[in-house]
Structure 1
Amino acid sequence: MGMIDIGEVAERSGVPPSTLRYYEEVGLIRSIGRHGLRRQFDADVLLKLSLIELGKTAGFSLGEIAGMFGKDGRPNIPRDRLHAKADDLQRQMLDLRMLRDALRHVAECPAPAHLECPTFRKLLKAATRRRVTRPASDTRGRGGSQRGE
């Protein structure tokens, strides 16, 4: 495979050079040399960047994503973590559908006051029940932001 410089990697991947440098700093990607001051990468870096973006989109932290690559830089993704993340996304989709339905009902409800509406009360009760029964390990907060995300 040929080498491509950081500018071309940025252009082809849509990932800014500053983020590429950060990814290299934290060990997600590795340059294979320099041409002058410009980092050079193996063309395989584009596939790795796609995997990183997929992981970020799925809600994995950069640290979690880094742990999904072996010492040789090749993907070593634990399937059980993917199943757990898919389950979490399923719960989020259910929560979002419930929220969407509640918002639509509130927007269209003919009741003079929302708290007088039996459907609205049911929606509130269902939302509260979901929040109370959600597993303690289910942390929706993403914590502090990480550079490059």
Structure 2
Amino acid sequence: MIPTSSQDEGPKDVPAEELLSIGQVSERTGVARSALHFYEEVGLIASLRTAGNQRRYPRHLLRRISLITVGKQLGIALSDIKRALAPVPMDRLPSEEDWIRATAQWKLVLEARRRAIEELENRLMGCIGCGCLSMQACSLLNPADQLSRQGSGARRLDAED
């Protein structure tokens, strides 16, 4: 057992074989040390500290870090990844039920992204199909050039519009 300290109510004594240094985590996950520091800063992961103030990560966080990497590769915002992983504890080995709750949240995030992409595709196909080739004159997406009042640049990319 290695005595550790944590800012939250995490375990105080953790078996040494269950703790990994930041270098070991970086090597095993392919995530840069600086990214691990950032993930910890924004609350995506948590480390324990040894008596010498060195970071140690519980082995079970490897799966969480891998899911963060996958989410990033899919273009999912870190805030959405954090929300999706909220049901998964960081201070203990997650149970099957913890992962089932997280899966349900991931599904909501992915469904929202799918709807946004489909809406963007529909708008784009409508614009290409019209043939006018003009955002100023497009009667479908920008009747009477209404968007010009909002300033220059893209105005139709957000699903909330």
TM-score bracket relative to the smaller structure: 0.5 to 0.7
What CA distance in whole angstroms lies between the structure 2 residues aligned with 1:13 and 1:38?
Answer: 19
Structure 1 runs of 4+ aligned residues shifted over 3 Å read: 87-92, 121-125
Query: Which of 106, 112, 129 is 1:84 aligned to?
Result: 112
Query: Which of 65, 68, 81 is 1:49 aligned to?
Result: 65
- For the residue of structure 2 that corresponds to 1:132, the secondary structure is coil
2:83 matched to 1:67? yes
Q: Please give the per-residue CA displacement for 1:40-62, whole angstroms capped at 9, x wherever unaligned.
A: 11111111111111222222211
Percent of residue pairs bearing the same amino acid type = 29
Distance change in 2, residues 1:122/1:34 (3 Å): same
What CA distance in whole angstroms lies between the structure 1 residues aligned with 2:79 and 2:37?
Answer: 16
More helix by share: 1
Deviation of 1:123 after TM superposition, in Å, equals 9.4
Letter paired with 2:43: G
Distance change in 2, residues 1:51/1:71 (3 Å): closer
Distance change in 2, residues 1:90/1:14 (3 Å): farther
What CA distance in whole angstroms lies between the structure 1 residues aligned with 2:88 and 2:30?
Answer: 26
Deviation of 1:89 after TM superposition, in Å, equals 4.5
What CA distance in whole angstroms lies between the structure 2 residues aligned with 1:84 and 1:10?
Answer: 31
Q: Which residue of 2 aligns with 1:13?
A: 29
Q: Please give the per-residue CA displacement for 1:121-140, whole angstroms capped at 9, x wherever unaligned.
A: 95948xx98x939x77428x
Q: Which residue of 2 aligns with 1:38?
A: 54
Residues 68 and 81, structure 2, Cα contact 8 Å, conserved in 1: yes
What's the TM-score once normalised by structure 1's chain length?
A: 0.56
- Please show how residues 106-125 of structure 1 align to structure 2 within 5 Å: 122=131, 124=133
Aligned length, in residue pairs: 114
Instruction: Report which stretch shifted further, 31-40 or 4-13.
Output: 31-40
Q: Which runs of 5+ in 1 are unaligned?
A: 103-120, 140-149
- Alpha-carbon RMSD across the aligned residues, in angstroms, is 3.7
Which structure has more RCO (C-alpha within 8 Å, separation ≥ 6)? 1
What CA distance in whole angstroms lies between the structure 2 residues aligned with 1:71 and 1:50?
Answer: 14
Distance change in 2, residues 1:42/1:11 (3 Å): same
Q: Which residue of 1 aligns with 2:141?
A: 132
Q: Which runs of 5+ in 2 are unaligned?
A: 1-16, 91-97, 143-155
